[in-house]
Amino acid sequence: MPGSLKNWQENNLYLNGMIAQTPWIERTFNFDFPLGLFPVIFSRLEGSIFRLHSLLLNADEDLCSINDKGWSVKEHTGHLSDLEGLWKKRLEDFMSNKAILTPADINNPGTKEARHNEKTLEQLLSQFTLKRQGMLESVYNADTALLSRTSVHPRLNIPMRFIDALYFVAEHDDHHISAISTLLRKPVG
């Protein structure tokens, strides 16, 4: 391996001993799982509420507002809530048989404008919980016809079933919960 590549890997792939997380925009997905995984995916979506509450239970409000190199804990948490509106629109897209799903604005203006660092963790958690519970209630009784309905994801440019879109949301949750967990572990400064 060339020396410069090796140095780059050593300097950029690891954070506090753990390999660095792949940026969300670089993620790829394989949607080849059976519809029978819906209960598992539903559980992951529901579990995001409890994981966030558990992670942030004793977190320091001020430290969670620090955004040294990217988003703060509060901004990641608020972002999850911000995107519930997009997920809801996409679920409606499937229900109305739209050919292409509603696109996301990858610049995340809603998260930038929301001033999440000025909110309390309890406010952010309550907002996410309320919105996510609404989504869970709307998909709980999804049947095989709806779960297998297909639409094209606009950024990935691939067909995605309704169940795949739910998996995508669960993966997005995990992406940000992992980032929150990393921020809570690392010393500030």
Binning pLDDT at 50, 70 and 90, where does residue 14 land? Answer: very low
* Between 179 and 69, residue with greater pLDDT: 179
Q: Is the pLDDT of residue 61 over 60?
A: yes
Identity (one letter) of the amino acid at 12?
A: N
For the residues 37-62, what does the mean pLDDT come to?
97
Q: What is the mean pLDDT of the chain?
A: 90
User: How far is CA 110 from each of CA 50, 79, 107, rounded to the nearest angstrom?
Assistant: 24, 8, 9
Q: What is the pLDDT of residue 188?
A: 55
- Quick one: how far is CA 182 from the chain centroid? 15
pLDDT number for residue 16: 52
**What confidence category does residue 4 fall into, taking pLDDT thresholds of 50, 70 and 90?**
very low
Q: Nearest Cα to 35, choosing from 163, 145, 150?
A: 163
Q: 182, exposed or middle or buried, with CB in 10 Å at 0-12, 13-18, 19+?
A: middle
pLDDT at 74: 98
> Quick one: CA dihedral 149, 153, 156, 157, positive or negative?
positive
108, two tokens: 């995340």
The structural domains of the chain, ordered by start, are 48-184 (1.20.120.450)
Distance CA 15, CA 45 (A): 27
- pLDDT tens per residue, range 71-113: 999 999 999 999 999 999 999 999 999 999 999 998 888 888 9
When mean pLDDT is compared across 14-23, 57-66, 176-185, the lowest value belongs to 14-23
Q: Is residue 187 very low, low, confident or very high in pLDDT (cuts 50, 70, 90)?
A: low
State the distance between the two ends of the chain, measured CA to CA, in whole angstroms. Answer: 33
φ, ψ of residue 105 to 5 degrees: the values are -95, 105
> Tell me: the pLDDT tens digits for 146-156?
999 999 999 99
